[in-house]
Amino acid sequence: MEIPTKKEAKILVVDDIAINLELQKAYLTAAGYEVIEAKSGQEALQKVRDEKPDLILLDVMMPKMSGYEVCKILKNDPETQFIPIIMVTALTSVEDKIRGIEAGADDFISRPFNKTELMARVKSLLRIKFLQDQLHQRMQELSEARERLQQLAITDGLTGLFNYRYFREQLEHEINRAERHNLDVSLVMMDIDFFKYYNDRNGHLAGDEVLKHIANILCSNVRKIDIAARYGGEEFALILPETDKNSAVIVAEKIRKLIEDDPIPHEERQPNGKLTISMGVSNFPDDSRTAKGLIEIADRRLYNAKQAGRNVVIAE
């Protein structure tokens, strides 16, 4: 982000006396700044919201709402707190300056002011403002990059589902939560039937499309609290928090049927004429109280589903 030129810098001048307003406007316009005006505190607050100025020249003594009040409101608002404010005043006492500082003013200039001094103060505060904006943008970019990296670290690159490492962490987490709150957790392990046969006949690119297609079906048919993951190869896993075994079987059957009924390119070449999936279900606390135990039992039932002819859900 480059520091903007004078033409790009927008300055709000706030004064209820027309001659003062015009004088400041003339100085700033001659120096190349874009100038907007406000004749009251209320108008100034509206102009800040609408115009988003880079700097404010704010008269202290105004009727209804003083410059101190306007400054305090702006500095207490997260959206406007970093806009630099120069208070313009005929008051010169230490008490008046302290009051302005307490309100959040960044600088003061006393009337009658020197044009060169005014321009120097404006230029200095604008430079600080633009450097703050640059820093904020860099921090935002770093935060977004960190979030992207964190997401990549837990995501399977092909399917977009969570990866094996995240699956294991979350299964442990959900079991611990269920233990504390006396809840159920169910696990569904699933494996595409005859997937190697499909790959050999149709190529790995076609196989990748199948994996992505099934991942989409999973994501579209589970709750936000459920965790769908690619366990490895053609195997997927689904963690169902707060779900007993009977309910988990219903979810598994729904997904199995959706995959069976959904048309997949070249599935007619499969040994059973369709591309299907087999599933094994286990439950905490009924089957096991550990993540390792739940995986082993669900995996064994998945193997039994294969032995039973495939395209079935086995939970016992």
Phi, then psi, of 77 in degrees rounded to 5: -100, 120
Query: pLDDT tens-digit profile of 281-300?
Result: 999 999 999 999 999 999 99
Query: How many CB atoms within 10 Å of residue 19?
Result: 8
Q: Is residue 152 part of a domain?
A: no
- Do residue 129 and residue 168 come from a single domain? no
Residue 58 has pLDDT above 50, yes or no: yes
Domain count within the chain:
2
Q: Is residue 41 part of a domain?
A: yes
- Do residue 13 and residue 54 come from a single domain? yes
Query: How many CB atoms within 10 Å of residue 299?
Result: 18
Q: Is residue 153 part of a domain?
A: no
- Cα–Cα–Cα angle for 1, 54, 44, nearest 5°? 155
CA distance 40 to 17: 10
The dihedral through the CA atoms of 157, 158, 162, 164 has a sign that is negative
- Do residue 190 and residue 223 come from a single domain? yes
Query: pLDDT tens-digit profile of 112-155?
Result: 888 898 899 999 999 999 898 889 899 999 999 999 999 999 99
Percentage, residues of the chain above pLDDT 90: 80
Query: pLDDT tens-digit profile of 78-115?
Result: 999 999 999 888 776 677 778 778 888 889 888 888 88
Candidates 209, 234, 253, 296; catalytic one:
234
Query: pLDDT tens-digit profile of 149-196?
Result: 999 999 999 999 999 999 999 999 999 999 999 999 999 999 999 999
- 234 is an active site residue: yes
Rg of the chain on CA atoms, in Å = 33
Phi, then psi, of 89 in degrees rounded to 5: -150, 155
Instruction: Please provide the average confidence, as pLDDT, over all residues in the chain.
Output: 92
Question: What CATH number is given to the structural domain containing 216?
Answer: 3.30.70.270
- Do residue 140 and residue 185 come from a single domain? no
CA distance 58 to 86: 6
- Do residue 139 and residue 210 come from a single domain? no
Domain that holds residue 46: 6-146
pTM, whole model, 2 decimals?
0.66
Residue ending a domain, among 146, 177, 192, is 146
Q: Is residue 120 part of a domain?
A: yes
Amino acid 1: pLDDT: 45
- Do residue 138 and residue 176 come from a single domain? no
- Do residue 309 and residue 172 come from a single domain? yes
150 Cβ contact partners less than 8 Å away, ≥ 6 residues apart: none
Distance in Å from the first CA to the final CA of the chain: 62
Q: Is residue 180 part of a domain?
A: yes
Question: What CATH number is given to the structural domain containing 136?
Answer: 3.40.50.2300
CA distance 252 to 238: 9
**Residue 158 structure tokens:** 């092909």
Phi, then psi, of 68 in degrees rounded to 5: -60, -45
226 Cβ contact partners less than 8 Å away, ≥ 6 residues apart: 238, 239, 240, 241
CA distance 132 to 138: 10
CA distance 110 to 51: 26
Best CA proximity match to 48, nearest among 14, 16, 25: 14
Burial of 104: CB neighbours in 10 Å, binned 0-12, 13-18, 19+: middle
Beta-strand pair 227-232/235-241 = antiparallel
**Alpha helix (H) ranges present in the chain?**
18-30, 41-51, 67-75, 94-103, 115-153, 164-181, 195-202, 204-220, 245-261, 291-307
